[in-house]
Structure 1
Amino acid sequence: MDAGAGTVRGRLRKLETWRLYLAVGCGAAIGALLRFLSGFFIIAGLDQSALWATAFVNIVGSFIIMFFAAITGPDGRWMVGPVGRQFVMGGICGGFTTFSAMSLDAFMLMLRGDLLQAALYLAGVIFFSLAAAWVGYAFAIQINR
């Protein structure tokens, strides 16, 4: 192997790495915008609490990430490479869902003395997020058959 081949291979690997970073960054921007628009619609459009907006994005995001992971996995029907998977799963879903906002919501409820509501909120979001992930997985498995 000559030095030129190693340099070309190294440059291609670096280019692929930057392509992955760009895909995740662009996906995260899209996910964050979708999270903002979802919150805006739920809070302003439906006149609901911010708690519902945060719960919504976490539950829907759980469905999407599990569905996409199963449908694009080794036994999946959709052939998506690592960059495409990270664009959706790490980027869009990562930017769309928001564990930190859920933590803030629960903490603010606790500061107000609403311990029961905080506990119910956390338990509900976690339960329904896991349920949504299960539904996403089951849906993808049916498509994969």
Structure 2
Amino acid sequence: MDANRTLPLVAVGGAAGAVCRWGVGVALAGATFPVGTLTVNVAGSFLLGVLLYERRLRNALSSRTRLVAGTGFLSSFTTYSTFATETVALTPALAGLNLAGNYALGLLAVLAGRRVAGWLS
């Protein structure tokens, strides 16, 4: 698939992911802990786990769907840079909790996504 065809797919997915991330941030704003960023990172890890393992197990989704959902939506829905800057701004105890939460829950979410992909295949 050439770049002229993939760019619009990634752009549409990316715009949708960014708007959804913004919405989660607005809905969960005001906490002293960055719950919104943790939520999108864990949810995005789960969905990417489903998407990637679905391809390995079933391969029912088209490459265009994967571009929109994975490269587009999920790459703008999740956010490493915001996670990093929010972590630096926290107290040391909360920063440690945020680091552990994002990495541990993100990994568990990918594993859960793999399991769901297995059930779907």
Q: Secondary structure at the match of 1:18?
A: helix
1:17 aligns with 2:9: no
CA-CA distance at 1:116 after TM superposition: 1.9
**Counterpart among 15, 23, 26 of residue 40 in structure 1:** 26
User: Relative CO higher for 1 or 2, CA cutoff 8 Å, sep ≥ 6?
Assistant: 2
TM, length-normalised to structure 1: 0.77
Corresponding residue of 1:28: 14
Corresponding residue of 1:88: 69
Instruction: Name the aligned partner's letter for residue 139 of structure 1.
Output: V
Alignment coverage as a number of residue pairs:
121
1:51-101 Cα shifts (integer Å, max 9, x gaps) = 000000000000011101122x143152312x2211111100001000000
Q: Secondary structure at the match of 1:93?
A: helix
1:69 aligns with 2:52: yes
Instruction: Name the aligned partner's letter for residue 80 of structure 1.
Output: S
Runs of 4+ in structure 1 off by over 3 angstroms are: 47-50
Gaps in structure 2 of 5+ consecutive residues: none
Q: Secondary structure at the match of 2:28?
A: helix
Higher Rg: 1
Percent of counterpart pairs with the same letter? 25
Mapped contact 1:24–1:92 kept (Cα < 8 A): yes
Specify whether residues 26 and 77 from structure 1 end up closer, same or farther in structure 2 by C-alpha distance, changes over 3 A only. Answer: same
Instruction: Name the aligned partner's letter for residue 45 of structure 2.
Output: S
Corresponding residue of 2:119: 142
CA-CA distance at 1:48 after TM superposition: 3.4
Specify whether residues 122 and 24 from structure 1 end up closer, same or farther in structure 2 by C-alpha distance, changes over 3 A only. Answer: same
Q: Secondary structure at the match of 1:142?
A: helix
Corresponding residue of 1:57: 40
